[in-house]
Each structure stands twice: as structure tokens, then as C-alpha cells.
Amino acid sequence: MVTASARFLPRADLDRLFTALTADGRRVVGPTVVDGSIVHDELASFAELPKGWTAETAPGAYRLQPTGRDRLFDYNVGATSWKRFTHPSIVPLTRGRRDGNQVVVEAVEIDPPKLAFVGVRACEIAALRIQDRAMRAGPLGDADHIARGDAALVVAVECAVAASTCFCTSMGTGPEIDGGADIILSELDEGFVVRTGTDAGADVVDRLGLGPAESLQSDRAARQVGAVRAAIGDPVPAEGLATRLRAALDHPRWAEVADRCLACANCTLVCPTCFCTSVAVASDLDGVEGTTDRTWDSCFSQGFGRVAGDANFRPKVKDRYRQWLTHKFSTWWDQFGSTGCVGCGRCIAWCPVGIDVREELNAIAPIGAPSGPIPWPLSPIEGRAPAPLATVEPAAHVTATVRSVSFETVDTATLELVLDDPALLGSRPGQFVMVELPGFAIPPISISRIRPDGLNLTIRSVGPATAALVNLATGAEVSLRGPLGRGWPIEAAYGRDVVIVAGGIGLAPIRPLIDAILAERPKFGAIRLYLGARTPRDRLFVAEMNALAGRTDLEIEEIVDRAGPEWQGKVGIVTQLFDHAPWDGTRATAFMCGPERMMTATANTLEHRGVTDENCWLTLERNMACGVGTCGHCQLGPFFVCRDGPVFSLAELGSAFGLEGL
Amino acid sequence: MHDLDLAAGGSGDLAIDVAMMTRVEGEGSLRLRVRNGVVEEARLEIFEAPRYFEQLVIGRTPDEVIDIVARICGICPIAYQMTAVHAFEHGLGIEVDPQVRALRRLMYCGEWIESHALHVYLLHLPDFLGYASALELAKDHRSAVEAGLALKKAGNQLVELIGGRAIHPNDGLDIAATDWLTEFQESQVSWSHALQSRDRTGRPYLLGPSSRVILAGDQLHPLAAEALAGTGLIEEIRTNPYRSILARAIELVDATAEAIEIIDAYEPPARAATPWTPGPGSAAWATEAPRGLIFHAYELDRNGLIKSARIVPPTSQNQAGIEADLASFAPQVLDLPMDQATHRIEQLVRSYDPCISCATHFLNLSVEELS
Amino acid sequence: MTAPLPVEHGRQSPRAAAQKRPRVGVVKFASCDGCQLTLLDLEDELLAVAEKVDIVEFAEATSRRSGGPFDVLFVEGSISAPEQVDEIIKLRAVSKMLVTIGACATAGGIQAIRNWFDHEEIRHAVYADPRYVESLATSKPVADYVAVDAELRGCPISPAQLKEFLTALVTGRRPQLLDEAVCLECKRRNVVCVAVARGIPCLGPVTRTGCGAICPAYGRGCYGCFGPRESANTTSLAAWFADGRNATEVSRLFSGFTAWSEPFKKIIDANGGPPRLAAPSETPDA
């Protein structure tokens, strides 16, 4: 795509490029010196470029130095990456209003600025592409990000110098630029060798009326970038790195680096590919107007792994560092088919205590035999290979009305919602919705029944948002986004026996599965339900379950952790119901949902009973904030629980299931 | 505990105990005893816990001290910072750019506006109109309270713009000129106008707005002078402590007018910070805080660390005067019902806008003298 | 998101749902008044807040007084005098929810520096006659004496956080008070790291966010006035600082307004206490 014939832009004529870029109202963003560092900012002219400056970098240090020459791009990468413009730190998502019973939530209209990015390096082109892919890796994606990226014109500059923290050569992302940019510049003392990579870039360059570059100039440009490659060398042997790293999840070095790591998140925030965000909720004093914003977050923040009830899947810094490093260099391949690191070195320079990712990689995953078992194979799970989509849809917000609220237990209620959205009415058992009351946090809630005219949601009050939901009155409205995630693979159980295990609130996502199976009862063999609860008072859907017990075409058994004398049933843990039951697990497909500890125990018992991992399905709880795989919160090894799950087979999860701190 | 046999009501006896002064800064109580028309006791007692600032700064560097002394008072932190900054600059021979000085002065104006608006509208005004607080006052006179809040906000915004936040801002030495420039254009609003030079040292009298307006009235901004003349109450302000609210209002005009002048004359400083080397010396300075003169004196050791510190806030200097006023005013409330008498006495103390958090250790000293 | 407000889970009575105005008190102990003043500094929201809550005790703002009970009690200041211990215990007993506000109440404040010093010595140094001065040898956070339900950090607290807290209180949701490093705020605001780009020592990586990264935005290092964040790795940061600094200089960096918080105190202790003239490297001149 990049034109073979290069043109030449004399240094004195550079301003003409600025004029051409801005001719159609486009604004120019480029490097400039602010507060002792080169950052990307809007430029009023190219006079603001960092003429005569370079940046010396080292672990934990970044210092501007004068070069003594007139070059404008004699540095490598600035403090900030381009994600500041494609993936801004704060993006308004929704504006909602809750007036009495009425609820309206609307997505904020996306209006991307028309920008030209000037000075984009090879590693940064790769980063833009990698982040873009991550935001498009599903039918629903981050529409704001994509719109901003699509609206930008990329004017790249090939590196003429190498910083001590650079390792693009190892990551295969640079320093040469072969594509991915609209215009590509190579800076020489006398001016710029100009190539174009797209029609849009060619349009701009054509307006400059440039003559061809002399072949000597092109040669010098090539030699210049060649020298950069030689200077960088190959600091991180990348061959097999993804596999080596996932084989080293138990390496003692994780604890050592955690002793030095501040978990301050700087590495992730300066990283040009890190895309993780949170949803910040705000409201006015009356609780009428509510807003949500998407804000930069980081897997190094404690809150990142937190789920309802303040449990945390990644409380230790050791685990947070491992999550970051393994994601960047290993599980990114599973998710997006590429490395997540482009070798720009920002995480090294901007770490306040100088932790050098190259050093850590070489210590944790050195060349040689893998040091431990490989928890999951290095390939995208079949059927989920992330095909980049040309367009993605922002998830729609649908208003639903509460027809009834019935309390199942003291803190758990079922909301019967009426709605007419075809997508939501077509939900599959096991899918979930994001439920929004303006001003409140937006919890992911499993669908507990799919009706012709709406959905039931069974919600346990564990925080203010869920408390507000269970206390809604008849006639109140809520806003839903969904259905999200992959449901139960009911077809996988056709012709087979079915074993269903549910613990506590875990019965909620199981119930539509029961509904669906009973609707097609003849397609299945024996059906066995095993239900656990903490106490008799914590049992859900009691009347319904009692009614099921009266049927002859299925078996149902219940057990509670502890009970008073009024309880005539069994007491103990749910696995006791079937660890010696007289059925053949090899003929069964199992579905389960409950607290993770209960599911671990159940999985073990089921395996022991002969149920294979391929036939054992479960649904996971994680901190799902976006629901569409773009916020990063719910990652579990190579998976985004919201998008790839929440239903998984044990075979898919491999040893990612139950691994502490993953 | 108290002499409950004494009561107001025309007997010539009076016993007033206000266990906790309200609508003043900090924690203090009031005790007044009059027997047979003779004032036996008139005390403003301070039970605010001591914090030992003069000891806390020992061994610290001047820039640390500037941050630390701001924490003496949440209402007038700039007064403490500026006095310390000036003391050190004076003591160590540091010259800052005039534009930086102007910005600091603007920040100080902001504090004056904030502090005076707080006192005039939120703390003191309810006394004159018979409300327990400005929040209750707002139920009947919302626009008046809102006007006061708007003025107060303008003051806070000035401090925040230059210092980063409204309370305990960053050191004025470190203003980033670029930040100032970019945010500044938006902040120009059409309030009114000036503030006389506060860098001069004061004289030994009751400090604060009434004294300043009367004794240094020639230094008022013309707009403030005009406002003062317009009240026709100059003599009242001179003699009647209950009129101090007017003096504060005049100073609000004054500080606002000066702030606007500084803003209009703004030019970016050539350099945001002046390099300096720590060293030994004596550093002392006084500035006019909203409540009156504030004085700091430091001794620096050869490494430029604080060897000793003395900090004299205005309220501690006013305290004796307040108590004297209490004594001389007490006979006038003898004939009032007890609740009214108490209210009048409390109002009198409030008229000085005493800042007890600031004054803590000095007030304890004067308690001792009275005992 | 920390500090969830107490939520009544399960079915709520219609009366609870009708949301009676909560009775709110504001009290202070050893402090500068700045944090409670922050409430009065919410100029745009103050009157609206006063309609949503019933401010029954707030000596700085109203002559209306109450000894409780309080639905929510905001407590400013550290516990540093004997009678304050009794008082806070009494107040706790009449408060459904006790919220400490500011560095003094949450960490002991700057006056907690005296905890390292000889109390009698400084009493005599400051007061000519310390007989009339009742104070404890230590200035400590409120949580050392009574249970605290939520805290607003900072010296002073942030108006934005106070507003968020009050809004969450009256609308019944969880306040968004993040327990993460100041660094995230710097990066979101596009503030260049003063530590990395200019070598200025900065406590941002170990300090809780909420201030809006004011100091780095003004070109100085964070001095930790919001106190330590979760997982504050002060040991690692102090080791980094120790390159080119002696123990007193390292200690100095942590000896600020939240010095008595455990992660900071640990570093101060390991480096010979807060800076004092007695330190060998800083002997006073003759």
C-alpha cells in the first residue's frame, strides 16, 4: 500500500504540510515540549514541534536534552501515547434521568474530532492498530474509540534515533514503517522524504506539489532507520515468549517484582495499547439526573478485580503484575491474535521505581524449556477467534417496566420486567443484562426467566444499586442493555442426561435453562437437579422448585449448609447430593452456577463421577463493567468473562478455572 | 459549677456561660460574671486542643514551613503562608518577580474576599436578622445569602486558581505561569474593586477591619472609600463594635476592587519561581490577615533549617481587647432577659470574627493572666 | 469505590423509602476548621444540601445545637486531649454513621509529629505555663478510639469528594471515592510525571487519589496529604528515594500531614523519626 515512489519536502516548506493538513478543518496534534517532556498536544503551527530536543530515557527517568541540531523529530516517543486522543481518559457514555417511575437512559452522541496525528512512530502505529482491534473484537464494541480512530489522519515519522528503553525490534513493530499510516515522513537534515500509505494521505501530499526524492535521499533515510534497528538490538527474545510466560505463572519472581512494584498504574496508563476503563457514575443531589463516564482504569488498581459484595479476585500486587505482564505478552495473542506490547518502552521510563519489563520478562520467561505446565494452549478458542469487525454497534439502552417485585428471600427479589425489545426478548438462557437506574452503579444481572413479554431478573441486594433495584415499585422503569454474553449451550445436551447444580443466587441464571430444557423435554435423557443454599431461608423460587419435585420426569434434591430444627431436609454441601448417586456421569452434560468455591468442589465431584470437562458447563462471576469485552475488568486468563462467557466449559477454561489471583 | 444564683433581669447581677461559641472558627467558650453592676469576670475561654505548631516546624526547611503553617487555620491559610513566605524571602534576601508578587497578592485578595464574605454573610449576618444560621436565613432571604455565597465563591476561586485549592493551597512560589494563563481568561468577572498595601507592619491597637478602615482609610481603594463614605457611619464604626460587619463589607469592596485591578494588569511572570539557597539567618515579617495583623519570626540554622519559630495570629492579639469590650459592654445588657443578654454578648464576641483555631496557645496564656 | 454507605438490604418499609431528611452533625477536635469549612465552601450546593439534610449540629455555621442523635456525624480533627477521648466515645454512641473528615481525623494530622517527641518538652517550649493546657502525648486518628464508618481524606478534604459523598448520602447510592494512586489522576489529567521527568520526589504512587493531582499539576511532588492508598508500597518508594538522599531527607518526605498513618510511619521510624535539629547530619550552628 505504501507508495514506492517517495517525494521530498524541503525543510523550509514544512509549513505547507501544516496548511494542507488543516485545509479541511482538521486540527493537528503533534509532539511539543511541555513541563520538561515531549507530549502530544494540539499544535498551532509546526513551530511548536520539539526542534533541537531529544529525550534520554532510562528505567524511572526521562530527561529532555538539547541535540544541538535543527531536527524536529530527534526523539522516540513522548510521555503520552496517542490513546489520549483515540481513547481519551474520560468519555461521557450516558445521560440518564429518573423522574419518579420514569427512567430514560441515552447514549451520549459520538462526535469525534477530526485530527491529524503528526509524528506517529512505527511502534505507535502498531499500538493504534492493536488497540483498535481490541475495541472491535466483538459484535458490540467501543464505538467512541472506533469513531475517533477512524476520524484521524496519521502522519508517521520513522525514527532517526534510538532510546535506551526502545525494544520495538523485539516486538516486531518497528522501527521501519511499512504501512498503517496515511503519510510517512523520514527526517533528513535538509528535509523530509515523504511516502504515502493511503488515498487520504496521497490527497494531502498531492496538494504540496512535491518533486521526487532523490534515490540518495531515500537511501540515507533507509540507512538512518537501519542504524536505529542496530542500536536497539533484540533485548527481549520474543520467539515463544507467549508460551514461556504462561508456563511461568508460579514463578517466584512475581513476588519479588511485587516487592518493588508500587501498583501505581503508571505503566498501564502510559502504555499505548492498554485499554482498560471503568464506568464512573454521578448524579445530582435530587437523584434525578444521572451520568456515566468511561474513565481510564488499570488492572493495578485494587478496585479493578472487585465484584459485588466487595470480594476481590485479584487482591495482591503480585497477581496484578502477573495479570498485566501475561496479558500484554501472552493472553493478548489468544484474545486478539497479536502481541499486546509494541516495545515503545514507556512502561520502563515512566515507572517511578524503574522496573524494567525487559528484565522481568527475561527473568520470568527466559529462553529454554517452559518451567511449568501450560495452563491453556496458545490458540484462540475455536469459534471465538476474534475477527475484527468493520463496524460495531454501541449497545442500545432499552427501558423496561416493573410489573411486579416478589421477594424470594429477605434480601433477594425477582423483578418481573415488561419490555418490547426484540433483542432482549430473544435472550438465551444464561445471558445477562446491564441494569441501570440513573445515578447508580450498573450491575450485570443474570436473566432468571425469559417470558414472551419480558424478562425476570432475580437480584440479591448486596450494595446500594442492587438495594435500589429490589426496592423498585410496580410501574417503575429501569434501563437495560443486552442481552450480553454467551448463554448455556443447551443443544450440547441433546440426547444426553442432564445434571444441574445450583448454589444460592446461582439458581437465577439456571432457571431459564430449566425452563428451556423442560420445554423440549423429550430431547434429553434423565434430568437431575441439585440445589444448595446457605439456610432454608435462602432458598430461591421455593414454590416452583416444590412443584418440580412433584414431576416424575426429573429428579430434584435440595440441601442447605445449616438449618434449624424446622428443616426436614438435608444439611451439608451440595456435592453430597450426588457424589454417590447411582447414575453414569459419562452420559451426562452438567450445568452449574454458584459461588466459585462451590463450583470448584462440584467440578471435582463431577469429574470423579465421570462427567468430562467438555460436558461440564458453568457460569462465572467477574467484575463486568461494560458487558461487551472492552473495559477489561472481567478478564480471566485469555477470556473476557462477559463476552466469551459467562458460560464456559471446564475444557475451555483449562486450569484458568480456580487459579488464585488470575 | 456555675453561679446559678446570678441571673439577668435588672438585679445588677449577670451570669452568662456560653459553653461553646457558635459561628466562630474554632472552639471557645464565654464566661461573664457581673455582681451588683460590677464586672467580676469577662473571659473568652479557649478549649481548642493545642497543636504545638512552633515546635512542629523545628528542623524543617522553609518550604516545608510554608505548607505546615497553612494548617494553623483553614479560614486564612494564605495569611500564614504569605507571612512565612515574606519572612523567609526577606530573611534570605530572595527577590521574586513583581508579577509573581502580584499573583500572590491576588491570591491574598481571594482569601480576604472568602474570609470576609464567610463572616459577613454566613456567620455574623444572622445575628442582626434573628436567625440561628445563614442556612435558616436563606429560607426567608435566599437571594441575600446566595449573593454572599457567590462573593465567597469568587474569593475561593481566586485562591484555587493560583494556589490549586481553596484551603491549604500550594506554595505561591511555584506558580506555573502557563496554568495561570490558560485558566485565567475564563475567570474574569465583573465584580467591583482594591486593597491597600498589606505588607506594611501594623500598630498596637485592636486589629482588624474596623481599625484598618478607620485608621488606614486613606489607603482604601477609591471605590471602597466611596462605599465607606456612603454608609455615613464612619463614627459608628469607630466606636461601636457591633458595626464591624460594615467595616468588613467595606474591605470586601476593597479586596475585590484590588483583585480586579491586579487581574486587569496581569502579565505573565518572566519566571515562575526564583531559585534560592538555604542558609542561616533570621526571618520575620508581618502581613494584614483578614482579622488583623499576623506576625511570624523564624531563626534558621546554618543548614537553613528552622531553629526557632514564633507565630502571632491576630485573634490572640485581639483577645485582650475582646475581653475588655465584654467587660465594658456587660452593664448594657443587665436589664435584658437572659437569652437576649446572652445573644447580645455572643454577638459582640462574634463581631471580632475571632479565629480560635489560629489563636489557641496565646489565648491560653491570657486566660492565665486573668485567673 | 470504597466507603459504601450503610445500606438496608432487603425489603424496605415505605417510610424508609420516603427518606426522612437525615440528621447531620459536624463536630471538630484538634484541627484547623478547614475541612468543615469545605462544607461551607460548596457555595453552589450548600443551600440545596441544607434542604436535603437536617444540619442539627455545626457550631461553625449555626447556633442551633444538638448533642445527637445523628444519622450522620462528620468528625474533623484528631484526638489529642483527654476530654476529647470521652467526647468521641459519647458521640459515637449517638451516631448511626460516623464519618471522619480530613487528615487530622483520619491520620492524626500534622500535629501527630509530636507523637515522636517528648510531650513535656514541647509543652514547656510552647506554653510559658503549661499547667492550663490539657493535652495527650499523642495526636491520633479518630479510628484509634471508635469505629469509623467512612472517611474523607485530605488536608483539607476535597470539595468534589464531599459533594460526591453528600450526593450519595441523600440519593442512597455508593459514593465514588477511589482508593487508588494519585498517579491515575495525573495521567487522566495529562499531567507529566514530575518524579520521572524532573526527578522531584513525589508520594503520588503511594497516596490515595481524590485531590485531583493538584501538586503535580503545579509542578511539585505530592506530599501525601490524602494519606496512603491501599497496597501503599512505601518501602519500595523510600528505597528509590534513598538513592542520593540521607535518612533524614527520606524521612522528611513522609513526615507530612499523614505521617502517623502506618505505611508512612514505618518509613519515618526506619529513617530515625521526623526531621529534627538533633539529627547528626543537621547539627545546629553554634
DSSP 8-state assignment for residue B232:
T
Set of chain A residues whose Cβ sits within 8 Å of the Cβ of C4: 310, 463-464
Higher pLDDT, B5 or C219: C219
Residue B288: which H helix or E strand, with range?
strand B281-289
pLDDT score of C19 = 60
| Interface membership of A36 toward C (CB under 8 Å) | yes
Q: Say whether C173 and A465 touch across the interface (CB within 8 A).
A: yes
Q: Is the pLDDT of residue A375 over 80?
A: no
Set of chain A residues whose Cβ sits within 8 Å of the Cβ of C196: 60-62, 349-352
Residues 6+ apart with CB under 8 A from C125: B52, B54, B55
pLDDT score of A545 = 94
**What does the block give as the cell for A477?**
422503569
Calculate the average pLDDT of chain A.
Answer: 91
pLDDT digits (tens, 9 = 90+) for A89-129: 999 999 999 999 999 999 999 999 999 999 999 999 999 99
pLDDT score of C283 = 41
Confidence of residue C132 (pLDDT cuts 50, 70, 90): low
Looking up residue C37, the CATH number of its domain turns out to be 3.40.50.700
Whether C61 is in a domain gets the answer yes
Q: Is the pLDDT of residue A157 over 80?
A: yes
Residue C92 to residues B49, C82, C83, C97, Cα–Cα distance (Å): 20, 16, 14, 8
- My answer on whether C124 and C48 are in the same domain is yes
ipTM of the complex: 0.91
**What does the block give as the cell for B113?**
474576599
Q: Which residues of A525-553 are buried (b: 16+ CB within 10 A; e: fewer)?
A: eebbbbbbbeebebbbbeeebeebeeeee
Q: Phi/psi at B297 (nearest 5 deg)?
A: -140, 130
CA distance A413 to chain C (A): 8
Cα distance between residue A421 and residue B298, in whole Å: 74
Q: Is the pLDDT of residue A403 over 80?
A: yes
Set of chain C residues whose Cβ sits within 8 Å of the Cβ of A413: 11
pLDDT score of B21 = 78
pLDDT score of B184 = 26
Confidence of residue A505 (pLDDT cuts 50, 70, 90): very high
Out of A160-174, A299-313, A472-486, B139-153, least confident range: A299-313
pLDDT score of A224 = 96
Are the C-beta atoms of residues A158 and A184 closer than 8 Å to each other? yes
Higher pLDDT, C14 or A278: A278
Closest CB to A352 among C173, C230, C240: C240
Set of chain C residues whose Cβ sits within 8 Å of the Cβ of A64: 197
Mean pLDDT of B123-151: 92
Our measurement of the distance from residue A528's CA atom to the centroid of its chain's CA atoms, rounded to an integer in Å, reads 36
- My answer on whether C97 and C29 are in the same domain is yes
| Interface membership of A287 toward C (CB under 8 Å) | yes
- My answer on whether C25 and C142 are in the same domain is yes
Residues 6+ apart with CB under 8 A from C144: C79
Cα distance between residue B244 and residue B321, in whole Å: 14
Calculate the average pLDDT of chain B.
Answer: 78
Set of chain C residues whose Cβ sits within 8 Å of the Cβ of A282: 164, 167, 176
Higher pLDDT, C211 or B50: C211
pLDDT score of B362 = 40
pLDDT digits (tens, 9 = 90+) for B176-203: 222 322 332 222 222 222 222 222 333 2
Whether C6 is in a domain gets the answer no
Question: By C-alpha distance, which of C37, C59, C57, C61 is closest to C162?
Answer: C37
Q: Which residues of A240-255 are buried (b: 16+ CB within 10 A; e: fewer)?
A: ebbbbbbbbbebebbe
- My answer on whether C203 and C236 are in the same domain is yes
A-C CB pairs within 8 A amount to: 178
pLDDT digits (tens, 9 = 90+) for A625-652: 888 888 888 888 888 888 888 999 999 8
pLDDT score of A113 = 95
Mark which of C144, C171, C198 sits at the end of a domain: C171
Closest CB to C187 among A283, A285, A296: A296
- My answer on whether C238 and C136 are in the same domain is no
Residue A444 class from Cβ within 10 Å (0-12 exposed, 13-18 middle, 19+ buried)?
A: buried
Cα distance between residue A366 and residue C39, in whole Å: 56
Looking up cell 508578587 gives: B101
Question: What is the β-pairing status of strands A7-10 and A211-212?
Answer: antiparallel
Listing DSSP states for chain C in one string gives ---PPP---S---HHHHH-PPPEEEEEESBS-SHHHHHHHT-TTTHHHHHHHSEEEEETTTBS------EEEEEEESBB-SHHHHHHHHHHHHTEEEEEEEHHHHHH--GGGGGGGS-HHHHHHHH-SSGGG----S--B-GGGTS--SEEE-BTTB-HHHHHHHHHHHHHTS------SBHHHHHHHTTPPPHHHHH-----GGGBB--S-SHHHHTTS----TT-B-TT--HHHHHHHHTTT--HHHHHHHH-STTTTSHHHHHHHHHTTSS--TTSGGGPPP-
Q: Is the pLDDT of residue B8 over 60?
A: no
B18: nearest CA partner in chain C = C63
pLDDT score of C6 = 60
Domain of residue C200: give its range.
182-282
pLDDT score of C13 = 59
In chain A, what's the furthest Cα-to-Cα distance?
Answer: 94
**What does the block give as the cell for C75?**
468528625
pLDDT digits (tens, 9 = 90+) for B53-103: 888 999 999 999 999 999 999 988 999 999 999 999 989 988 888 888 899
| Interface membership of C97 toward B (CB under 8 Å) | no
Mean pLDDT of C206-216: 95
pLDDT score of A201 = 94
- My answer on whether C220 and C104 are in the same domain is no
A85: nearest CA partner in chain C = C190
pLDDT score of C131 = 59
pLDDT score of C250 = 96
| Four-way CATH pick for A398-484: 3.10.129.10, 3.20.20.70, 3.90.1300.10, 2.40.30.10 | 2.40.30.10
Residues 6+ apart with CB under 8 A from A209: none
Confidence of residue B1 (pLDDT cuts 50, 70, 90): very low
Interface test with A, best of C42, C166, C173, C188 (most A CBs within 10 A): C173
Mean pLDDT of A260-277: 96
Mark which of C118, C136, C171 sits at the end of a domain: C171
Confidence of residue A587 (pLDDT cuts 50, 70, 90): very high
Give chain C's length: 286
pLDDT score of A661 = 74
Are the C-beta atoms of residues A431 and A485 closer than 8 Å to each other? yes
Which chains sit next to C, with 3 or more Cβ pairs under 8 A? A, B
Q: Judge: domain A490-619, CATH 3.40.50.80.
A: yes
pLDDT digits (tens, 9 = 90+) for A185-197: 999 999 999 999 9
Instruction: Give the number of other Cβ atoms within 10 Å of residue C62's Cβ.
Output: 24
Q: How many domains does chain C have?
A: 2
Closest CB to A441 among C49, C174, C231: C174
What percent of chain B stands above pLDDT 70?
83
Annotate A619-662 with three-state secondary structure: ECCCCCCCCCCCCCCCEECCEEHHHHCEEEEHHHHHHHCCCCCC
- My answer on whether C248 and C147 are in the same domain is no
- My answer on whether C227 and C119 are in the same domain is no
B281: nearest CA partner in chain C = C285
